Every structure is written in structure tokens, then in C-alpha cells.
A and B are shown apart, each in its own frame.
Chain A
Amino acid sequence: MLYALSTCQWCHKTKVLLEELGIAFDYDYVDLLEGKEQDAALDEIERWNRSGSFPTLVIDNKRAIVGFREQEIREAFAA
């Protein structure tokens, strides 16, 4: 699950990388959510990433990669 902002370029790069790697993923543009939905997304992000920053990539509900860490993302999906 990728939590992103529609205006953020690091988020954009992350999304492009995941697509390039051919990974099936869901994503939310949290800035386009409203009210309760947005709050719920933020609560979920903060469970994985205390600073609540974007992009936050949650992999299989097990771990999270915060920011466009290209190498780390590639390695996480290399197996």
C-alpha cells in the first residue's frame, strides 16, 4: 500500500518505480481524501511512520519504507 500526495515528486517517483518493477499495489493520494477518510489514512500511516510523512510504502502489512529509497524498494521486491 502506497500512501502518497498527488503533488509530491518523491511520491511520484516511488509510484513510477513500483510500476516499473511490475508490482501490484494500491495507492491513496491522501491530499485528495477528505474528512474522516483522510484522518483514517493518517492514523494508519503514523502506525508505520511516526512523522506521518509521504511517501510511506507499507509492504504486506509487515514493514514500511519511508521516502523514495530506491535501493531499499528494489531490494524489498528483489526476492
Chain B
Amino acid sequence: MNVPEITEMAIDAAYRTLKADAEKNGYRLNPDGDFVKNLIRGLLKNEQRYGYRACPCRLASGKKDEDLDIVCPCDYRDTDIEEYGACYCALYVNEAISTGKQKVAPIPERRPPRSERGKTRVVKIVSTTATPVFPLPVWRCKVCGYLCAREQPPGICPICKATKERFERFV
């Protein structure tokens, strides 16, 4: 197999972009630079292998529609940062960790196991009042929770830059 090496230059460039994007949007990268660069090497490796930046700490199937939830940033990032102070890989961390006041610890896997994937998605909301009828569908970005009412979800989430296929119909 003749796979091009992932160069330090490519990693540095990706690091700068990720860091700038994170900071612009209120996220923070792990302060351990080497740890982060190794994770970015993994992200770039996955991009090379699968065609998308699948999470380096999870096994991708290679089928994009089955892996959408673990395309970085994954659907679980915000909840894990909220609960544990870091995303599953510890690429993204909360303020306390980013400033060295708290240490990162391993986090339990939130992604459903293989056998349950794609099944537990739909939560039925039981309401006693009639569902209001909106003139437009409401779309939710599964990465950051951004909501918008329009015919189609946006091509790119204006908040977190997730792509169109990461949106779900919310109402």
C-alpha cells in the first residue's frame, strides 16, 4: 500500500484551523499540545482512510451514513464536555481543564453499542396540547443544537460548521 505520510506540516495547519475555529465558537482544545497533535494525526489518518474525519478514539465503519454521529466534532461532544469536562477523546475540554485547574480523566462511551445504533434515535414527545402547526419545518444541528426554521437545513451550520447531513428534523 502506498499511503502518503501525514506530515507535521499538515498536522500543524489542521491544528491552527481547529484551534481558531474552536475559540471563535466558544470551545477549547486540550492544553496538552502533543496529545492534541496526535489526535489530529488520527483525524487526518481517518480522513485519508475513510474520506471523512471520523473520531480517532472510535472504530469507524467506513460507511459515512453509519458514522455521521462520530464525524468530528461528534454528536456527543457537548454533552460530554458538560458532564465530564472533555469530549470522549479529550480533544475538546472545558475551561477548568484548558487552564490547568482540573485534570482530564477517561470518559465512558456515550455512543450506543453496535447492536443498538440507529434504533434509539426517535424520542416520542407526548404532549397533551395539540402540536402547533408551524409554517416551516424546524431543523436541529445534532452537533451544537442550533435550530432554524426553513424549507431545508442549511448547507453548513452557521454556528459550528457541521455539514447539512448532521441536521435532523426537530418539529
| Residues on A facing B (Cβ under 8 Å) | 5-12, 30-31, 42, 46, 50-54, 66-69
Contacts and interface: CB of A to CB of B under 8 A. Distances in A.
B114 A42 contact: yes
- Chain B interface size, as a band, is 20 to 34
B59 A31 contact: yes
B90 to A, nearest CB: 7
Question: Mostly helix, strand, loop or mixed at chain B's interface?
Answer: loop
Nearest to A53: B109
Nearest to A41: B59
Given A5-B57, A9-B39, A9-B57, A68 B46 contact: no
Q: Looking at B56, B59, B60, B114, which has the most chain A CB atoms within 10 Å of its CB?
A: B59
Question: Mostly helix, strand, loop or mixed at chain A's interface?
Answer: loop
Given A31-B59, A52-B113, A67-B106, 7 more contacts: A5-B59, A9-B38, A9-B90, A42-B59, A51-B108, A52-B59, A66-B108
B38 A12 contact: yes
Interface string B99-135: 0000000111101011000000000000000000000
